[in-house]
Amino acid sequence: MTPEELQQIKDIVQAAVAPLQQGQEQLTQGQQQLTAQIKAIETKLDKTEHTLRSEIKGSEQKIIARVDQLEKLSADYLDGQVQGVKRRLDKVEQILNIKP
């Protein structure tokens, strides 16, 4: 083979490889862009998760406070009912004169 034939083969191979290299570069760029987008989405999801956890925690605290308040109110109500029944019983005992 002559040097000119070798050069022609080399030129043909380079011409065939050039689009492949360009395609590979485009794929690499696309992969880098996708990686950047994925990281941005992950960051956004992390922020959203943190926000939701904070909101849930706040809601849980409000619910617990309301439940505690309801428990206290129901205990006060029941105590009032017991006191009312006790007063009535005392009056009945007094009227019937059966108080010890």
Assign 65 a pLDDT band (cuts: 50, 70, 90). very high
Buried b or exposed e, range 31-50, using 16+ CB within 10 angstroms: eeeeeeeeeeeeeeeeeeee
Assign 86 a pLDDT band (cuts: 50, 70, 90). very high
| Mean pLDDT on 61-86 | 96
- Identify the H or E element spanning 100: none
Q: Tell me: the pLDDT tens digits for 9-35?
A: 888 988 888 888 888 999 999 999 999
Is the confidence at residue 52, as pLDDT, over 70? yes
Q: pTM higher than 0.75, yes or no?
A: no
Please enumerate in sequence order all residues whose Cβ is within 8 A of that of 93, keeping only pairs 6 or more positions apart, or say none: 99
Which position has the higher pLDDT, 42 or 96?
Answer: 42
Q: What are the sequence ranges of the domains in the chain?
A: 1-71
